Amino acid sequence: MDLICIRRPDDFHLHLRRGSVMRAVLPFTEQAFARALIMPNTTPTEIRTAVDAAVYRGEMKEHCRRGFTPLMTIKLLDRTTPHEIIACKSAGVIAGKVYPQGVTTNSDNGPVDMHVLYPVFAEMERVGMVLCLHGEDPKAFCMDRESVFLAQLCEIARSFPKLKIVLEHVTTLQAVGVVKELPDTVAATITAHHLYLTLDDVIGAKLHPHNFCMPIAKRPEDRDALRRAVLSGNPKFFLGTDSAPHTRETKECAEGCAGVFTAPMVIPLLTSFFEEFEALEMFERFTSESGARFYGLPLNEEKIRLIRQPFHIPEVIEGIVPYLAGKTLNWRIE
Ligand code: NCD
Ligand code: ZN
């Protein structure tokens, strides 16, 4: 088989940034995806109100191809009000994202105690907005932050039984298990790079800053649990690439930024993944169906075609070193 045709994918977790970086990275996502859930942790100003989201959507719309849809999120802070949630819902914002304080890029003003946000979660449950959780507890050791956070996830799910919750970019065996056990209102995104990376690829021999992201890649058995979740076709697990561009200088330095830039090759890489594990029948479900169904969005009608041809990943793209820079994949988007 040298040609694969799938429904056009959706990316349910994407960092586009703003300004020149946005203009540089947007074409890669547009080439492969119909829609993307755009993360709100932008600088210098983040997206935390309905007005911010409308302005940011306008910036993207000005530069994106016709037919590509940015799906909007806001960042939930201690000062976010239930009233703002109503305004966001009317403005077409579909999700609110929690970044616990200090766990990742631009999260310094995030909440420490999730309970502060319970009135906001109640309003999201009422109006039908999805809660996206960066599921790491800032007080825990870095390798344990995700598993320690799971108790809070369970409490939120129990307290708001109709609230749809996405545990973002899961990286552990424990998180996969808990998400599977919780009711169908709870799902998880999985990135392509976490299907490959372990901590060895980050610091196992030499330091590889371009494999460094949050949550940090874990143990081989964690990666294998992510693989099994994806290959099983369980609709609770769907693609959120977490493609997170940072310039070369801000990654290759003391205090390098967390984030892996995967937008240019993520769909060819996933094609190889599903082929390697002999589960191509699950490919479209993971990339193009389960996420849309969870979010209550119509499935994309358009298709994309992958052809078996060498695809060389550049060393650097617009000042950003992509994931697998310099490597060659077996598939490309036609
Ligand atoms: C993301 C970024 O750079 O904005 N970084 C990352 O390591 N994943 C933020 C995030 O999703 O944690
Ligand atoms: Zn992210």
| pLDDT per position as a tens digit, 252-282 | 999 999 999 999 999 999 999 999 999 999 9
Closest CA to ligand 1's atom 4: 105
Distance 229 CA to ligand 1 centre (A): 22
Distance 122 CA to ligand 2 centre (A): 24
DSSP labels, 59-121: HHHHHSPTT-EEEEEEE--TT--HHHHHHHHHTTEEEEEE--TTSSTT-TTS-S-GGGGHHHH
Which pLDDT belongs to residue 281?
A: 98
pLDDT in tens, 87-115: 999 999 999 999 999 999 899 999 999 99
Q: Give the mean pLDDT of the chain.
A: 97
Give the chain's radius of gyration (CA, Å). Answer: 18
Which pLDDT belongs to residue 19?
A: 96
Any idea what DSSP says for residue 271?
A: H
In a domain, 243, yes or no: yes
- Closest ligand 1 atom to residue 212 Cα is 7
What is the average pLDDT across 225-232? 98
Beta strands at 69-75 and 10-14: parallel, antiparallel or unpaired:
unpaired
Q: Does residue 49 register a pLDDT over 90? A: yes
Which pLDDT belongs to residue 83?
A: 98
Closest CA to ligand 1's atom 6: 259
Of the pLDDT bands very low, low, confident and very high (cuts 50, 70, 90), residue 66 is confident
User: Which residue type occupies 169?
Assistant: H
**Containing domain of residue 180, as a range?**
10-300
In a domain, 287, yes or no: yes
Give the environment of ion ligand 2: residues with CB less than 5 A: 242
Please tell me the distance from the alpha carbon of residue 235 to that of residue 161, in angstroms, as a whole number: 19
Of the pLDDT bands very low, low, confident and very high (cuts 50, 70, 90), residue 1 is confident
Closest CA to ligand 1's atom 11: 242
pLDDT in tens, 292-324: 999 999 999 999 999 999 999 999 999 999 999
Is the peptide bond between 215 and the residue preceding it cis, with omega within 30 degrees of 0? Answer: yes
Of the pLDDT bands very low, low, confident and very high (cuts 50, 70, 90), residue 209 is very high
Instruction: Kindly report the pTM of this predicted structure.
Output: 0.98
Distance 127 CA to ligand 1 centre (A): 28
In a domain, 167, yes or no: yes
User: Contact, 261 vs 34, CB < 8 A?
Assistant: no
Distance 104 CA to ligand 2 centre (A): 8
DSSP labels, 139-186: TS-GGGHHHHHHHHHHHHHHH-TT--EEE-S--SHHHHHHHHHS-TTE
- Closest ligand 1 atom to residue 99 Cα is 12
The preferred substitution site among 202, 214, 261, 323 for testing ligand 1, maximizing ligand atoms within 8 Å of CB, is: 214
The structure tokens listed for 197 are 């990376």
In a domain, 315, yes or no: no
Which pLDDT belongs to residue 313?
A: 98
In a domain, 253, yes or no: yes
Torsion angle of C-alpha atoms 106, 112, 115, 120, degrees rounded to 10:
-20
pLDDT in tens, 17-27: 999 999 999 99
In a domain, 275, yes or no: yes
Please tell me the distance from the alpha carbon of residue 114 to that of residue 119, in angstroms, as a whole number: 10
Any idea what DSSP says for residue 234?
A: -
Neighbour order of strands in the sheet with 3-7 = 3-7, 303-312, 328-333
Give the number of the ligand closest to the Cα of residue 214: 1
E strands, the chain, in order: 3-7, 10-14, 35-38, 69-75, 93-98, 130-133, 165-167, 186-190, 237-239, 303-312, 328-333
Please tell me the distance from the alpha carbon of residue 192 to that of residue 106, in angstroms, as a whole number: 22
What is the average pLDDT across 183-194? 99
CATH number assigned to the domain comprising residue 116: 3.20.20.140
Distance 4 CA to ligand 1 centre (A): 31
Distance 246 CA to ligand 2 centre (A): 12
Any idea what DSSP says for residue 49?
A: S
Q: List, chain by chain if needed, residues with CB within 6 Å of any ligand 1 atom.
A: 15, 41, 104-105, 134, 213-214, 242, 244, 258-259
User: Contact, 117 vs 111, CB < 8 A?
Assistant: yes
What is the average pLDDT across 6-34? 98
Closest CA to ligand 1's atom 9: 105
Of the pLDDT bands very low, low, confident and very high (cuts 50, 70, 90), residue 67 is confident
Q: What amino acid positions are annotated as catalytic residues?
A: 242
Q: Does residue 190 register a pLDDT over 90? A: yes
Four-residue CA torsion sign, 141, 142, 145, 148 = negative
Please tell me the distance from the alpha carbon of residue 319 to that of residue 248, in angstroms, as a whole number: 6
In a domain, 329, yes or no: no
Domain count, the chain: 1
In a domain, 265, yes or no: yes
- Closest ligand 1 atom to residue 244 Cα is 3
Of the pLDDT bands very low, low, confident and very high (cuts 50, 70, 90), residue 65 is confident
